[in-house]
């Protein structure tokens, strides 16, 4: 099961790399395929309520859109890239900066972030890890809307938006 997920993930990564003319070392490709493949399999299993049945599909779990680990990993990578490209010292920003949520997408993302502890507690209390998966997907969706509609680096609100990304 895990080997098949890794193999399919590797094939998808090779295809994307060829389309975007990216160069990967064999080690990078193998490590990434393992992380994505295993993560996709685990997330696909955990996102479903343990009390209901579901159809298993490698094709579905390895999609880069929708409620998949690949989408969550892509969102995480985007956040990391924004922070890295800013060149800012995030530890320093955390000490001196403030978050101001002026736009609707900023507020929606901020409110979603505030629900984390409550979601973790509910998932643990009810023994339903799918609640945490649902939260992470919703958070990724909110971030994507925020990112699409709000410039982060180089904006007047750069510090606030970087802190929101962090």
Residue of 28, 3, 4 lying closest to 17 (CA atoms)? 28
Burial of 50 (0-12, 13-18, 19+ CB in 10 A): exposed
Check whether domain 89-166 has CATH 1.10.730.10, yes or no:
yes
Q: Look-up: residue for tokens 């579901």? A: 54
Condensed to tens digits (0 to 9), the pLDDT of residues 20-47 reads 888 888 898 889 899 999 999 999 999 9
> Cα–Cα–Cα angle for 2, 50, 36, nearest 5°?
30
Condensed to tens digits (0 to 9), the pLDDT of residues 123-143 reads 999 999 999 999 999 999 999
Q: Domain segments of the chain: what residues?
A: 1-62, 89-166
Asked if pLDDT for residue 8 goes beyond 90, the answer is no
CA dist., res. 111 & res. 21, Å (int): 39
The runs of H, that is alpha helices, within the chain are: 2-19, 26-46, 58-61, 69-86, 90-96, 104-114, 116-126, 130-149, 158-165
For residue 128, the Cα-to-chain-centroid distance in whole angstroms is 20
pTM of the model: 0.87
* Residue 75, number of CB atoms within 10 A of its CB: 19
- What are the tokens at 146? 């925020």
């Amino acid at each position: 099961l895990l080997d098949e997920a890794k193999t399919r993930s590797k094939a998808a990564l090779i295809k994307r790399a060829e389309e975007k003319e990216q160069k990967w070392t064999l080690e990078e490709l193998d490590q990434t395929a393992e992380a994505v493949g295993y993560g996709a399999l685990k997330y696909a299993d955990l996102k479903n309520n343990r009390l209901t049945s579901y159809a298993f599909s490698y094709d579905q779990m390895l999609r880069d859109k929708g409620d998949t680990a690949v989408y969550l990993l892509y969102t995480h990578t985007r956040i990391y890239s924004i922070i890295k490209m800013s060149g800012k010292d995030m530890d320093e920003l955390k000490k001196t900066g403030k978050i101001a949520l002026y736009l609707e997408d900023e507020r929606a993302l901020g409110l979603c972030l505030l629900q984390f502890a409550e979601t973790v507690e509910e998932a643990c209390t009810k023994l339903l890890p799918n609640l945490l998966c649902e939260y992470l997907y919703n958070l990724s969706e909110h971030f994507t809307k925020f990112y699409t509609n709000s410039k982060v680096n180089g904006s007047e609100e750069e510090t606030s938006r970087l802190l929101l990304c962090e």
